Structure 1
Amino acid sequence: MNEVKKISSLQNPLVKKVLLLKDKARERKKSGLFVLEGRRELQLAIKGDYEVSTLLSCETLVSEAEVRVLIDGLKRRPQLVTISKEVYQKIAYRETTEGIVALAKSKLHTLEDVVLENKNPLVLVAEAPEKPGNIGALLRTADAANVDAVLIANPKGDLYNPNTIRSSIGCVFTTTIGLGSTSEIIAFLKSNGVGIFCAALTASKNYTDIDFNASTAIVVGTEATGLSQEWLQHSTQNIIIPMRGEIDSMNVSVSAAILVFEALRQRELKGSK
């Protein structure tokens, strides 16, 4: 069994390290570590085969026995640390994480690691998403629809930003994610025979008039600028969600959800997935 270390000082180097990793993307990139909170997030990270290096538990909220049950699925045991409530309140983003904070090793998410095993894959592509909340919401949509992969082109945000993890409710750990440039992802999709359906205002067809039963990538851009011209040049077909109000766009995660679930609806009717 791992020896359990105890920390009660806010000045402890490990406490300072956790705070730095939470606040600084540069530190996360440099160290290859990130912070996660909560039992559900920890369980999903374990399910996603993440390596947890350190697990901190608040001694007044969770017992050592409960902690050992939580890490039972890990191949490599993390360093176990019990922390005082004062320390926990300092390093935790929210009070509903049941006394669990952990440090884990990030993944590279290269396109080479993305394998589309389904013969008619459904892929969600987002170009240049930046806001952690939007990235997290896109991942939740992908999880809910059980898409085959999420590809992020020209990523601006940090997948391991605590707000991304929190807004994804841990789906970031169990979703197949690939990162690359727009050119690289277009080449990846074409090499895998995946049709490219771009959400765009020009030369578009109503999304309900499109057959999404074959291999499909639904591609969404930012609300501010939409998709780059490179995507539109390689689009199999541009698609649009008709707007009935005064504005011409919706939140990117909402648009993605509508399009992905239309594809899913068609596939369930036809029995293609």
Structure 2
Amino acid sequence: MHKTIHSTQNTLIKQLVQLKDKSRERRKSEQFLIEGKRELSLAIKGSYVIETLLFYPNLFSESEAKSLEKNGVEIIEISQEVFQKLAYRSTTEGVIAVAKAKPHQLSDITFNTESPLILVAEAPEKPGNIGALLRTADAANVDAVIIANPKTDLYNPNIIRSSVGCVFTKSIATGTTSEILSFLKQNGIHIFCAALQASQDYHKQDYTNPTAIVVGAEATGLSDDWLQHSTQNIIIPMQGEIDSMNVSVAAGILIFEAVRQRRINE
């Protein structure tokens, strides 16, 4: 027999609201919330430990919930009021899970190919942009995504939502710029920095060797450390009136050029 919670004043529900809203709470407890069927299935595929499953029976069936019970997951039925209190999205499927966070350390990244392709983003500010970068990385099937000097934790609800759950299935690490530079050098990875200074057109480079495409924040660009250690700075020639584009769009153009070159060389 599973538990039921009908009150938004319940102690557990109050704790889960904190998990949803506060990065500090997610870091302290090493837990986070997953909302939605697809996101939950991707988290399970990505070997995340699901600790608790909360479901609103009008939207998510009891049999669906119980299918996870065999994995030692605590199942809790909740009222519509409780679900709305916990839900980040207005249109969702009546299921919220509490999962255990992963450490996302550089040392955990392993490459299954001799010529890995990596996307690095330095200090991306908007969770929506991070989610879009992760979707781009998933679409191109890059080997890893590395976030330098992150401004938010990877389990921000907006990152999970905007990545459509890709945050759970891609190999992702975080670290300081200097740690990531050391990691790339140790692994013999060529560093291509999207930057205006001393740059060449992106399509004139060779990305068939082990490659990291590095993008910075739209407002500030990349820090000097990246520019000093760059194999080559690259630029996307602009055809219009403005001199920059959304970071996830730029990353998509650069990453898919690398993918195109690798396909030709297969």
Q: What TM-score results when the alignment is normalised by the length of structure 1? A: 0.95
Q: Does 1:191 align with 2:186?
A: yes
Matched, 1:175 2:194: no
The letter for the 2-side match of 1:44 is L
Q: TM-score, normalised on structure 2?
A: 0.97
Q: Residues 37-186 of structure 1 correspond to what in structure 2 (within 5 A)? A: 37-69=35-67, 71=68, 76-186=71-181
1:129 positional shift: 1.0
Deviation at 1:209, TM superposition (A): 0.6
Matches within 5 A, 1:174-253: 174-253=169-248
Letter in 2 for 1:146: N
**Conserved in 2, the CA contact under 8 Å of 1:114 and 1:178?**
yes
Deviations 1:53-73 (A, max 9, x none): 11000021122111233x27x
Distance 1:68 1:7 in 2: 17
Distance across 2 between alignment mates of 1:213 and 1:68: 47
Task: Name the amino acid aligned to 1:31.
Answer: S
Secondary structure at the counterpart of residue 44 of structure 2: helix
Look up the SS of the partner of 2:64 in the other structure. Answer: helix
> Do the aligned residues in 2 keep the contact of 1:125 with 1:219 (CA within 8 Å)?
yes
Counterpart of 1:152, as a letter, is I
Secondary structure at the counterpart of residue 52 of structure 2: strand
RMSD of aligned alpha carbons: 1.1
Find the residue that maps to 2:173 and give its secondary structure.
strand
Which deviations, in whole Å up to 9, do the C-alpha atoms of 1:48-92 show, x marking residues without a partner? 1111111000021122111233x27x7x42110011112112211
Tell me by how many angstroms 1:95 deviates.
3.6
Structure 2 gaps of 5+ residues are: none
| In structure 2, distance between residues paired with 1:220 and 1:85 | 42
Structure 1 segments, 4+ long, off by >3 Å, are none
Identity of aligned residues (%): 64
Shift of 1:19: 0.8
